Structure 1
Amino acid sequence: MKGVVGGSAKRRWRNLVIPVVGLVVLSMLVPLVFLLGLHSGSHSTGDATHQRNSQPNPLRPIDQDNDAGKREKLEWIYRVHQSKHVNDLLERLSPSFPKEFGNNSKRGGNETGFSMPADLPKQAQPVIDTGPVVKNYTGEHRRSADESDLICEFRFGSYCLWGREHKEKMEDAMVKRMKDLLFVARAYYPSIAKLPSFEKLSHEMKQNIQEFERVLSETTTDKDLPPGNEKKIPEMEAVIAKAKSCPVDCNNVDKKFRQLVDMTEDETNFHMKQSAFLYQLAAQTMPKSLHCLSMRLTVEFFRSSFDTETVPMEKFLNPDLYHYIVFSTNILASSVVINSTVMHAKESEKQVFHLLTDRENYFAMKFWYFRNKYKEASVQVLNIEDIKLFDHHKVAPMHLSLPEEYRVSFHRVDELSFSLSRTEYISMFSHSHYLLPKIFRTLEKVVVLEDDVVVQSDLSALWDIDMGEKVNGAVQLCAVKLAQMKNYFSRNTIYENSCAWTSGVNVIDLSRWRAHNISETFQRLVQEMSREEGTSETTTLSASLLTFQGLVYSLDGSWMLSGLGRNYGIDLEAVNSAAMLHFDGNMKPWLELGIPKYRSFWKMFLNQQDSFLNDCNVIQ
């Protein structure tokens, strides 16, 4: 019995040996096959195995693959970090930016624009951009120059107009030519190096590439190129011509070229984002000279002792005078609009200006207008944060909000293409404007002027306009119809022929404003839209357009010429003949970004001899 048991155990052991040996062999073969396959796959693609989003250094020496690969990865990580940093800054600063910049095509997330209506697939449709959110536009690479300009303006707004005007002439053409040849040579080299019969050409191409990389790593301008360098370009061109005549694998060359094109496009987009952000930051940052002016005036206000109330209060309450309202935190801008209005007035003694500002700028404004007189006109400076309304307990604490600017881009969509048609700009009332009938309870009619306006004629005729039952006399923008944006106004009724209107100069009938409950209607619409669609920076625009729908009296277009802060193409003859100039846009005349040929129309109303302006280097 014992022998039988021992024999059966041996037979079972021999039966298990074969499966065990097989498993051991398979466990060794599978990793080996995987490694061989991976190695073979990597050779089949040559140097074009980099991912689409990688950004290799074009000047990387070809004999330093390992170290260069690490540098490329670190450089790419740095660029991604920088790009995210720029986007984070754009998002963080977006509430303070004007509503003129970005590419917001749908609600939600960080994009605070209007979505494109789905039921108008082949008609001009607006995308209202309200913040500096920058998105990459994906589309066909080959486009006409005009369409490329439209796409750029759609993405980055007036930055593209500014950049086109300030584009510098291409210098260092030889260095640029060397970089282009280096890109082409490096695209062909991996394929040529695999051909044994072209070993001499491969060696020659490698030497030329290394020489170009050495020169370009030490030189960035033509004047710094070493003597005799001009001979290297024909040599490289001859080598590339030989490489093009060789029977290379076109797929590898194509992949390498695509990699280089992607790298160049990514680099361009990265720098475009950075430049657009810096442009927008410059447009929104107070210049050092203006900050100096405000601080100096504030200090002098508390250092000096004077009677600030030199004008009888009865004049500010008299409804028979010409009352102008200006919302501003900019001393120079408000001074220019008041001075230009008074200089062209036939009866300056009938003009009364109410300047509404915030607590931060109140004392500087107060001292400035105490020192400067404007003929017989009267100027009242009010801190909107300290104004006590009769129903103040019913509203939130007041703060100053300035007029807001929006960019409305229209584009056509069909089954085959995406094409932009035009871009329009709208300046709109802010929340502070809807406090006017409560702040000025004794007044019946006022004219609201923005602080980026220059007046070039007498405005007394505005007070003689019979607006009928209308409330707001404004320049209408019928290139933008409310019917085109009906999907953006929730369930509210839209008049098909209603046009958008723009601020800048507005004749306001306060008595009819109160009769129509304009302020209450605006607040109700804002609350409804915020409740239904969430709070959005475009809520003010849509609520304002709906509030005044059917209540806008169309002023003649000759009253105001707009676009002097964004349009380089306005004829100077038209500028000279306009009754008012509106510097709407980012390129305000008090900024270095201002359009030079229009700035003189603004600067002529500054007092060139003022000691504060000279001390702070405001006059340049």
Structure 2
Amino acid sequence: MRSGRRPQGRSIAIRKQTETGLGSRIVRKSGSERRNLIGSDVGGGAARTRMQLHISPSMRSITISSSNEFIDLMKIKVAARHISYRTLFHTILILAFLLPFVFILTALVTLEGVNKCSSIDCLGRRLGPRFLGRVDASERLARDFYKILNEVSTQEIPDGLKLPDSFSHLVSDMKNNQYDAKTFALILRAMMEKFERDIRESKFAELMNKHFAASSIPKGIHCLSLRLTDEYSSNAHARRQLPSPEFLPVLSDNSFHHFILATDNILAASVVVSSAVQSSSKPEKIVFHVITDKKTYAGMHSWFALNSVAPAIVEIKGVHQFDWLTRENVPVLEAVESHNGVRNYYHGNHVAGANLTETTPRTFASKLQSRSPKYISLLNHLRIYIPELFPNLDKVVFLDDDIVVQRDLAPLWDLDLGGKVNGAVETCRGEDEWVMSKRLRNYFNFSHPLIAKHLDPEECAWAYGMNVFDLQAWRKTNIRETYHSWLRENLKSNLTMWKLGTLPPALIAFKGHVHTIDSSWHMLGLGYQNKTNIENVKKAAVIHYNGQSKPWLEIGFEHLRPFWTKYVNYSNDFIKNCHILE
């Protein structure tokens, strides 16, 4: 026997009492059930917790646990060798020093309860069960509920299942009918699917209403046209010649800056002209050629006759005043306006025959946009005939009626197009997916053999709305004939090659004749998206409200409208009497 080693039968007891009232004791017993205990009572009453230290008979493991079986705090395995009593004594002293801290944390856990997590032991309380392979009640409940939800997701919802109208009604039904978890999950799924259908139907209804609002004429603008037309018949000054006879030679003078605008919207035309003149450093060099239809001609003429933009010059011409616009020269336009299938497509029921269950709101919105009645308007197709309508002009800037000019456009006439016909901004270089990420695949049906044969789906598209046209170069091409031939093919195919207006055939007709200009000249999308960057709007030379949310409509975006309304003359009697945009 090793010297200093005590006989087995001898028992040792060490007691220690701390000032905080925490007690500890060690009892060693002889025999086969050798066990050492260190115990402590923490708290009082119902919150009492007793901690115990268990030393195995073989002296190879030490376990610390609570008497209420809340948690096994620590288990230490000792290497398989003899331990001196001195080492054991020091180990027990160290554990006795640490135990009060462990007891305090355990008491906090007991007092706080399982669901609270405000003390430092929260980490141990959460991670401990996982290390020991245990799952608390909340996790077990969540796991069981996920299992039930997975089962219910594949089940058929019974016909005639009565669904609560709200969450409060659902809770009330649960209390009254004592639903089990599976029934609750099934009803919850049925309610969610119903709400999704309702939201989807509401979204489509919103898109339809927006389409009708965008296609209609606001009461104020209609009033303005009627009052100005009446003024034309009763006021000689409203019928005065535009421009004055002494300025007639300027209409074909290529030293001036000629703008072309085709519209039947008097208010929109006034904003385009006013903004261009006010933004110009040399307004005396500006000549506007405004083309309108026969019904709007008198009102349009009255407005510019009564509201001079001098020193700029304005010419008003009706479509009926162009001798060149005959059925022989424009055969396809005649077909487009008289073709029953085409008229039904643009003016018919846009919901009938549409499978809304398989259509996304965005796709539906695009289809509605492509069915705007303006796409079969003669005014919308006139841009392809500019060289013939203005045979004496060499270079012009074409503007849509939903734009605002914010910067001097005179440098556009000094722009070298490199022999190309059309100076335009490309629409595939931007970050947004709705306006400035357009390629030919966005406009054409590439499942059609003719389209697939002649076009590249990844080719970049360009924008109408602000275009610099070199008419001398244009007259040397067959752009108009190409435009007509592809329109005929699309009509023969029952509009299966493309749906959207005049831009697709122009993308084909101008192929190889487009010179890309800097995007700062023409910013698009103000009628599509309300998240337009205001700083970019301020910097752009021309801003374009292309899309349904025109600034003169109630559905226009309020934060983008001021860039347009700043050029509306609200002091004008006609504007005031028609209560426009009040």
TM-score bracket for this pair, using the shorter chain length: 0.5 to 0.7
Equivalent position SS for 2:463: strand
1:528 aligns with 2:514: no
Q: Pick from 310, 316, 326: which aligns with 2:251? A: 316
Q: Which residue matches 1:218?
A: none
CA distance in 1, matches of 2:156, 2:199: 26
Q: Pick from 421, 424, 429: which aligns with 1:471? A: 421
Q: Which residue matches 1:369?
A: 304
1:292 aligns with 2:223: yes
CA contact (8 A) 2:284 2:312 kept: yes
CA contact (8 A) 2:259 2:397 kept: yes
Q: How much has 1:491 moved relative to structure 2?
A: 5.0
Equivalent position SS for 2:555: coil
Q: How much has 1:48 moved relative to structure 2?
A: 3.9
Amino acid at match of 1:346: S
CA contact (8 A) 1:587 1:595 kept: yes
Q: Pick from 547, 552, 561: which aligns with 1:585? A: 547
Amino acid at match of 1:446: V
Q: Which residue matches 1:360?
A: 295
Q: Which residue matches 1:440?
A: 390
Q: Which residue matches 2:403?
A: 453
CA distance in 2, matches of 1:534, 1:278: 25
Q: How much has 1:183 moved relative to structure 2?
A: 3.5
CA contact (8 A) 2:163 2:187 kept: no
Amino acid at match of 1:520: E
Q: Which residue matches 2:504?
A: 542
TM-score (norm 1): 0.55
Q: How much has 1:618 moved relative to structure 2?
A: 1.6
Q: Structure 2 matches for 1:190-339, cutoff 5 A?
A: 239=175, 243-244=178-179, 246=180, 250=182, 256-306=187-237, 307-309=240-242, 310-311=244-245, 312-339=247-274
Against the structure 1 CA distance between its residues 462 and 533, is the aligned structure 2 distance closer, same or farther, given a 3 Å change threshold? same
**Cα deviation digits, residues 441-482 of structure 1 (max 9, x gap):** 111111001111111111110000111121100000123333
Q: Pick from 501, 509, 519: which aligns with 2:462? A: 501
Output the aligned Cα RMSD: 3.6
Q: How much has 1:519 moved relative to structure 2?
A: 0.7
Against the structure 1 CA distance between its residues 331 and 377, is the aligned structure 2 distance closer, same or farther, given a 3 Å change threshold? same
CA distance in 2, matches of 1:355, 1:553: 25
Q: How much has 1:524 moved relative to structure 2?
A: 0.9
Of 476-485 and 506-515, deviating more is 476-485
**Cα deviation digits, residues 557-589 of structure 1 (max 9, x gap):** 111222222222223222222211111221111
Q: Pick from 574, 596, 616: which aligns with 2:558? A: 596
Against the structure 1 CA distance between its residues 300 and 57, is the aligned structure 2 distance closer, same or farther, given a 3 Å change threshold? farther
CA distance in 2, matches of 1:398, 1:469: 29
**Cα deviation digits, residues 475-526 of structure 1 (max 9, x gap):** 0012333378654552543357731001121001112112111111100111
Equivalent position SS for 1:354: strand
Percent identity, aligned pairs only, is 30
Q: How much has 1:271 moved relative to structure 2?
A: 2.6
Q: How much has 1:619 moved relative to structure 2?
A: 5.2
Q: Which residue matches 2:440?
A: 482
Q: Which residue matches 1:514?
A: 475
Against the structure 1 CA distance between its residues 530 and 393, is the aligned structure 2 distance closer, same or farther, given a 3 Å change threshold? closer
- Runs of 4+ with >6 A deviation: 397-401, 423-429
**Cα deviation digits, residues 153-173 of structure 1 (max 9, x gap):** xxxxxxxxxxxxxxxxxxxxx
| Larger radius of gyration between Structure 1 and Structure 2 | 2
CA contact (8 A) 1:328 1:334 kept: yes
CA distance in 2, matches of 1:327, 1:574: 27
Q: Pick from 490, 493, 515: which aligns with 1:553? A: 515
CA contact (8 A) 2:384 2:480 kept: yes
CA distance in 2, matches of 1:356, 1:180: 59
TM-score (norm 2): 0.59
Amino acid at match of 1:455: V
Which runs of 5 or more residues in structure 1 are unaligned?
1-44, 60-178, 189-238, 406-417
**Cα deviation digits, residues 199-228 of structure 1 (max 9, x gap):** xxxxxxxxxxxxxxxxxxxxxxxxxxxxxx
CA contact (8 A) 2:552 2:581 kept: no
CA distance in 2, matches of 1:548, 1:589: 30
Matched residues, number: 381
Against the structure 1 CA distance between its residues 328 and 539, is the aligned structure 2 distance closer, same or farther, given a 3 Å change threshold? closer
Of 540-549 and 293-302, deviating more is 540-549
Q: Which residue matches 1:49?
A: 159
Against the structure 1 CA distance between its residues 390 and 50, is the aligned structure 2 distance closer, same or farther, given a 3 Å change threshold? closer
CA contact (8 A) 2:284 2:311 kept: yes
Amino acid at match of 1:563: G
CA contact (8 A) 2:396 2:469 kept: yes
Which runs of 5 or more residues in structure 2 are unaligned?
1-154, 338-345, 347-359, 429-436
Equivalent position SS for 2:295: helix
CA distance in 2, matches of 1:460, 1:434: 23
CA distance in 2, matches of 1:283, 1:539: 16
Q: Which residue matches 1:89?
A: none
* Higher relative contact order (CA closer than 8 Å, sequence separation 6+): 1
CA distance in 1, matches of 2:210, 2:462: 28
The structure whose residues are more often helix, as a share, is 1
Amino acid at match of 1:360: K
Amino acid at match of 1:528: E
CA distance in 2, matches of 1:610, 1:326: 22
Q: Pick from 136, 157, 169: which aligns with 1:182? A: 169
Amino acid at match of 2:388: K
CA distance in 1, matches of 2:494, 2:208: 28
CA distance in 2, matches of 1:528, 1:442: 32
Of 425-434 and 272-281, deviating more is 425-434
Q: Which residue matches 2:530?
A: 568
CA contact (8 A) 2:319 2:325 kept: no
CA contact (8 A) 1:476 1:499 kept: yes
